[in-house]
A and B are shown apart, each in its own frame.
Chain A
């Protein structure tokens, strides 16, 4: 028998609450040792999926496997995955030591073994000597670390994290992000993280699964998902994007001729199929450059537009440029010598970008 490499396998899981479908036939694999992020807006079903895997919700259809074993009908306390909850949910009537020892005592391990492992877990989350503190004496970040230790001490096959950093302030969140990544590398187990924060997803994940409306939209490495989003939703939810309605003029050898704002552009389909005469493409704002005069290059797409608004954001300036009846967003980094800062509202400019920056979307 082949060794099962998928720590978590979700097959066609559907979950309904009354008339609302929270999960609609979602299938997903988590590899051993992988950091996978479920990214989606609130109400997208990402937390529900996590709870289904943890056993806290029963799916209406579909199966859940942990290391090849069907656990769909097992209660949470019989599954070897553990959860770090959003508000940490430490037991208020127990000390830090007792909180972390909770699961170990459940397994009836010998006392010295429990003591050793709790101490090691506290060491791991960098809170040595915190054994006798009470949860209410700890800061948010410390509570978060205890919650991590409480789950990790049980050496789960996978750690499920439900927006663990959402309650922390920005500074602490950045710090805990690095901490999570370090922990995951150190213990080497799979992390399945739920978040609505795209930056968090990009910074931490080996792979990102974008979820919306209870459906899995796209799954891939951060680079794949960001550089080559499949749908307009993914393109605009992970980062921002200008989405154009285009006319399909012709297609050949995996390339297509598209009519974009009055110009005919040849783009690579990247293996995607294009049906019908209309299509959608996306261009990321930072891939577009603004120039006062047109450039002499046939490899670039160039459009003429009028500047509507410029917003200075320190590291970059966001421009809104009107081209015909469409408004295009452009992000210009504020480099030394950049001409862009001299642009005024209402000025005529030229937008240019490489043909390779055009992403053909599926609808």
Chain B
């Protein structure tokens, strides 16, 4: 008879697919990008595998500073807006809604997520265009006399598209955190003299803090490297890290793109460290 837990070799064999997957799809490309970031651009595109810090010198050039700034700003605004929109939604679904509607409401809130982000971004373009749905509607209703021109190809459009795209990533972790909150704790707080606002600040917020940190990380990091929404919805001057990196790769300066990517990864890792520490302090309490 075979022993299920098996000898050492068998056990490692089971891990093989996962290890291979990580190796081929994660570590290998990452290592390639890392190596490439020290290389040089070839004369006709392509990469010359040399070693130098030239790309990094250029990457921290003041020329790129506004790009980093814009990226951080976009990610921050997106995250804050997502949090402000998602918390009430997650709260309602987790704690206030009729239990038999919970599942339906949850699915509804992540339903848009089932189609491609590209398609949804195009849908926003249709909505926000000068002769788009929103402008037409507002004109018909007589709210405005001329179409609003800054709806599309603007920072507003980028933020709208980005917030819309990231919303499910915010709602789900918050829902999980709020779902775990014992309703009787809310009742106890109210019984002890806390009104709804005070219950939120003194009970709900501290108890859901780990969930909030998770949700913020899940939204902030992709937003920092976002390129689709800024590229399609943003104006000519709205370059962010994501679009710049994409441009470098398209314009055949792959080493430069690689260097910027490595820097982005480093920024993300730094922020993640802070977030983990934040979540850890709550856990210990």
Contact = CB atoms under 8 A, between A and B. Distances in A.
Interface of A: 54-56, 75-77, 82-83, 85, 87, 89, 91-93, 102-103, 106-107, 150-151, 154
B192 A103 contact: yes
A103 B203 CA distance: 12
B237 interface: no
A75 B188 contact: no
Contacts of B194: 77, 102, 106
A91 B188 contact: yes
Contacts of A85: 184, 187-188
Contact of A150 (B184, B185, B192): B192
A102 B192 contact: yes
Contacts of B182: 89
Interface in B154-213: 182, 184-185, 187-195, 198, 202-203, 206-207
A32 B133 CA distance: 67
Contact of B188 (A89, A106, A107): A89
B57 interface: no
B193 to A, nearest CB: 4
Nearest to B285: A93
A92 B206 CA distance: 10
A89 B185 contact: yes
A89 B192 CA distance: 12
A159 to B, nearest CB: 11
A98 B67 CA distance: 46
Contact of A102 (B187, B189, B195): B189
Given A75-B190, A102-B202, A91 B185 contact: yes
A55 B192 CA distance: 11
Given A92-B207, A93-B206, A106-B198, A82 B191 contact: yes
Given A91-B185, A93-B206, A93-B207, A56 B192 contact: no
A315 to B, nearest CB: 39
Nearest to B203: A91
Contact of B187 (A56, A106, A154): A56
A87 B184 contact: yes
A106 B192 contact: yes
Interface of B is mostly: helix
Contacts of A92: 185, 207
A107 B202 CA distance: 14
Highest count of chain B CB atoms <10 Å: which of A55, A77, A82: A77
A106 B190 CA distance: 10
14 contacts: A55-B190, A56-B187, A75-B190, A77-B190, A77-B191, A77-B193, A83-B188, A87-B184, A91-B189, A102-B189, A102-B194, A103-B192, A103-B193, A106-B194
Given A77-B193, A82-B191, A154-B192, 14 more contacts: A55-B190, A75-B190, A76-B190, A76-B191, A77-B191, A77-B198, A83-B188, A89-B184, A89-B188, A93-B282, A93-B285, A102-B192, A106-B198, A107-B193
A330 to B, nearest CB: 45
Contacts of B192: 77, 82, 102-103, 106, 150-151, 154
Q: Nearest 5 A-B pairs (CB), nearest first?
A: A103-B192, A106-B193, A76-B190, A89-B188, A89-B184
Contacts of B193: 77, 103, 106-107, 154
A150 B187 CA distance: 14
A87 B183 CA distance: 12
Contacts of A150: 192
A151 B187 CA distance: 13
Highest count of chain B CB atoms <10 Å: which of A56, A75, A76, A151: A76
Interface residues of B, number: 19
A336 to B, nearest CB: 51
B274 to A, nearest CB: 21
A113 to B, nearest CB: 15
Nearest to A81: B191
Nearest to B182: A89
Contacts of B187: 56, 76, 85, 89
A53 to B, nearest CB: 11
Contacts of A55: 190-191
B233 to A, nearest CB: 40
A82 B191 CA distance: 6
A92 B282 CA distance: 11
Contacts of A103: 192-193
A76 B199 CA distance: 12
B186 to A, nearest CB: 10
A154 B195 CA distance: 16
A54 B192 CA distance: 10
A54 B187 CA distance: 10
Nearest to B198: A106
B195 A75 contact: yes
Nearest to A160: B191
A80 B252 CA distance: 73
Contacts of A75: 190, 195
Contacts of B190: 55-56, 75-77
A19 B218 CA distance: 45
Interface in B264-285: 282, 285
B52 to A, nearest CB: 52
A151 B207 CA distance: 21
Contacts of A154: 192-193
Nearest to B205: A93
Contacts of B188: 83, 85, 89, 91
A85 to B, nearest CB: 6
A7 to B, nearest CB: 17
Highest count of chain A CB atoms <10 Å: which of B184, B190, B191, B194: B191
Contacts of A107: 193
A56 B203 CA distance: 17
B87 to A, nearest CB: 18
Contacts of B189: 91, 102
